[in-house]
Amino acid sequence: MSTYVVVGAGATGAATARLLAESGERVRLLTRRGSGPDHPGIERMPLDATDTGRLTEALRGADVLLNCAMPAYDRWPADFPPLAAALLTAAERASADYVMLGNTYGYGPVEGPATEGLPMAPSSVKGTVRARMWEDALAAHRAGRVRVTEIRASDYLGAGAYSPFTIMVGAQVLAGGPVAYPGDLDAPHSWSYTVDTARTLIAAARDDRSWGRAWHVPSTSEATVRELAEELARTAGAPAPRLGRMTRAELKEVARTDSVMAEFPEMLYLYDRPNLLDASETAAALGLEPTPLDVVLKEMASA
């Protein structure tokens, strides 16, 4: 039995803690308010993860640190660097392996399916933040100070998932309302199920081949937004979706009064063209396959 420390209890963090506990591992789940799944194998601890000293103490005796925490989307440049620095420093001081939950922002625009071997070439402020987090961690790994790996997901699906689809499309489809989406409704897109992301984090933590590199989460679907919305409506027994594309001018107007939407324009390159993730190395090396889309949509429809 190993001891795992999970930081963050969003949809992916909660699933990670729960899966570890259900497999018989010892789990400490750290959040600001001590929230998270109620399970006898999960010790929930209230803690500010930017407090390096307290975080280091919480990691004493742990084998692995898994970070699933993320600041508010409109606070990344200010809040992510100190969080990342504290996590990396605490893992090093406590001699714990470090598994980071990341995304594809650091790659910048990519032609064709993105692979894990792509260099960091961010074209956005948020992408620069993510790239620097990985580069700092990888430097620590190469210096022999701590073993690190990063699991990179695409946009999330699943109950409680937070992504442009869930907040701008899924919720409206389930409510029978109109959809205004700022991307291409007919562009193929990779979608990551939160539980599959958790499974990938855990598999990487348990495999000695995972350290010093990144892995992609196997995608539950590469459907277009239109196809995904229509399938979600059918699954939920909701009316056929009424889908429209939001213009840049309309997005700019919405962004005037919505700080999260104000962050969206620089990331439009992910949504106005095909955006696919190659996870073949994850499937081959870590033995992971994605959950079927119908299972994911049934979960979303009944949440």
Distance from C-alpha of 286 to C-alpha of 26, rounded to nearest angstrom: 22
In tens digits, what is the pLDDT along the chain, a chain of 303 residues? 799 999 999 999 999 999 999 999 999 999 999 999 999 999 999 999 999 999 999 999 999 999 999 999 999 999 999 999 999 999 999 999 999 999 999 999 999 999 999 999 999 999 999 999 999 999 999 999 999 999 999 999 999 999 999 999 999 999 999 999 999 999 999 999 999 999 999 999 999 999 999 999 999 999 999 999 999 999 999 999 999 999 989 998 998 999 999 999 999 999 999 999 999 999 999 999 999 999 999 999 998
The letter for the amino acid at 241 is P
Neighbours of 203 (CB within 10 A): 18
CATH code for the domain in which residue 108 is found: 3.40.50.720
Distance from C-alpha of 124 to C-alpha of 107, rounded to nearest angstrom: 10
Tokens 């990487």 belong to: 204
Instruction: Give a yes or no: residue 53 inside a domain.
Output: yes
Instruction: Give a yes or no: residue 148 inside a domain.
Output: yes
The letter for the amino acid at 206 is R
Instruction: Give a yes or no: residue 204 inside a domain.
Output: yes
Distance from C-alpha of 36 to C-alpha of 53, rounded to nearest angstrom: 22
Q: 3-state class of 221 per DSSP?
A: strand
Residue among 185, 134, 146 at smallest CA distance from 164: 185
Task: For the chain, report the end-to-end CA distance as a whole number of angstroms.
Answer: 33
Instruction: Give a yes or no: residue 164 inside a domain.
Output: no
Burial profile 130-141: b = 16 or more Cβ within 10 angstroms, e = fewer = bbbbbeebbebb
pLDDT score recorded for residue 167: 93
Number of domains in the chain: 1
Neighbours of 288 (CB within 10 A): 18
Cβ partners under 8 Å of residue 19, min gap 6: 195, 198, 199, 202
- Phi/psi of residue 91, nearest 5 degrees: -60, -45
Instruction: Give a yes or no: residue 145 inside a domain.
Output: yes
Q: How is residue 126 written in tokens?
A: 């948020």
Residue among 258, 303, 256 at smallest CA distance from 72: 258
Q: How is residue 109 written in tokens?
A: 């625009």
Instruction: Give a yes or no: residue 295 inside a domain.
Output: no
C-alpha 171, offset from chain centre = 19
pLDDT score recorded for residue 203: 98
Q: How is residue 46 written in tokens?
A: 């209230």
Q: What is the pTM for the complete model shown?
A: 0.97
Q: How is residue 176 written in tokens?
A: 């029978």
Distance from C-alpha of 200 to C-alpha of 211, rounded to nearest angstrom: 13
Classify residue 279 as exposed, middle or buried by CB count within 10 Å of its CB (0-12, 13-18, 19+).
buried
Which residues form the domain of 48?
Answer: 3-156+194-218+278-290
Instruction: Give a yes or no: residue 166 inside a domain.
Output: no
Residue among 97, 5, 82, 85 at smallest CA distance from 45: 5
Instruction: Give a yes or no: residue 269 inside a domain.
Output: no
pLDDT score recorded for residue 1: 74
- Phi/psi of residue 53, nearest 5 degrees: -65, -50
Q: 3-state class of 44 per DSSP?
A: strand
